Structure 1
Amino acid sequence: MNTATRKDEIVAVASSLFKEKGYNAVSMRDIAQEMGIKAASLYNHISGKQEILSTLILFLAEEFTRGMNAVVTSEGSPLDKIKSVIEMHIDITVNHSEALAALNNDWMHLEDEDLIYFVRMREEYEENFRRIIKEGIEVGDLKPRHPEVILFSILSTLRTLYLWYQKRGKLDVNVLKKDMVAVMLEGIMR
């Protein structure tokens, strides 16, 4: 097995354990035990728990950033863009629900440049979303509500979607997108 494949396996196993127990409660020994190997073998593929966390979180943060950048530069109304952001969150949730637990719950354990990079991506993402919402209010697509309240309401739901989605037995993604977009937007549309 090549190093990249083994590293991916280590990250996937760690992701599951981080979700179950939390980053601080998981040791490299726990990861190795879950994989059925010796802890020392992990270090042939990865430098430690911090690298695993960084790999998980930064991969997802970059995926969200790429998605938001595509939405921002796309044609369409602010309402179309908000719909696209919601659908992007659903797609990422469906494909990476375990890793989202680390992104949401353990990002503060990132260190040094990784933490700075993550926070910068998160702030830029939120600012882009805020601008879309403000534009929607300005052009009359959205009710004149405080942009921060709209942003918080949508993002808090989307950031915890992974918890709800796993408990509900994997709803059809297309139904989830259609209904979630409708429920979220009808509360702010004119």
Structure 2
Amino acid sequence: MPKADTKKTKKQIILEEAATLFREKGYSATTMRDIAGKVGVEAASLYNHIKSKEQILSKICFSLADTYTTKMNLIMATEESPINKIKELLLLHLEINAMSSPLASVMNDEWRHLTEPEKSEFLGQRRSYENHFLTIIKDGMKDGSVVVEDAKIALYTMLSSIRWLQHWYHANRDMDVEGIKATIIGLLMNGIEKK
């Protein structure tokens, strides 16, 4: 993910400002004119950088989905223990939901507005990611490092517990993100890890 001090392209600025508007107003209620106003350009100029509101939504959803997929592939390829792989994935979710909260909100809440074939592709990518995550949890159950009754319940409880951060953290940026991550990881890992 780009660092905060990295010089952003106009397209990145458009995506970030659009994500903020989509989170505040909802995708359906946001117009290209709203986005242009937020970016500080004329609506006609916006089309030099992006074709449509639908393209903005697609780029936001797939940029984060691709980040998750890439990280999952790297983690799956390591020799790390299942419990360490789970921790790495949870840290990834915390990082994205804290540092990219408007983008994460859009991916998690507004993906339903994607049109075909993007919608099916996005859902397929999400299912694949979740299935890999489930495999890691089940591997941990097999080696005894993960003590849960049901892998799916464990997965969706962990992901849901992190998801709230995208809505909450942007209003509480004065709090230390590293402290927040340590607290949440501690709570979640204590719930699944064999003592």
TM-score normalised according to structure 1 size: 0.91
Q: For the residues of structure 1 that align with 2:148 and 2:57, how far apart are their CA atoms?
A: 40
Aligned residues, how many? 187
The residue identity in structure 2 corresponding to 1:130 is L
> Residues 88 and 10 of structure 1: is their aligned pair in 2 closer, same or farther, counting only changes over 3 Å?
same
The residue identity in structure 2 corresponding to 1:76 is E
Kept after mapping to 2: 8 A contact 1:90/1:173: no
Percent sequence identity is 37
Aligned partner of 1:26 in structure 2 is: 30
The answer to whether residue 194 in structure 2 is matched with residue 187 in structure 1 is no
Task: Give ranges in structure 1 of 5+ residues lacking alignment.
Answer: none
Deviation at 1:32, TM superposition (A): 1.4
Tell me whether 112-121 or 24-33 shows the greater mean CA deviation.
Answer: 112-121
Aligned partner of 1:37 in structure 2 is: 41
Where in structure 2 are the equivalents of 1:107-186 lying within 5 Å?
107-186=111-190
Deviation at 1:176, TM superposition (A): 2.4
Indicate the SS of the match to 1:136: helix
Instruction: Give structure 1 regions of 4+ aligned residues with deviation exceeding 6 angstroms.
Output: none
Task: Give ranges in structure 2 of 5+ residues lacking alignment.
Answer: 1-7
The residue identity in structure 1 corresponding to 2:38 is E
1 or 2, which has the higher helix percentage? Answer: 1
Deviation at 1:170, TM superposition (A): 4.6
TM-score normalised according to structure 2 size: 0.89
Q: For the residues of structure 2 that align with 1:78 and 1:168, how far apart are their CA atoms?
A: 32
The residue identity in structure 2 corresponding to 1:154 is M
Picking from 70, 76, 87, the partner of 2:74 is 70
Q: For the residues of structure 1 that align with 2:53 and 2:65, how far apart are their CA atoms?
A: 18
How large is the Cα RMSD of the aligned pairs? 1.6
Q: For the residues of structure 1 that align with 2:187 and 2:141, how far apart are their CA atoms?
A: 18
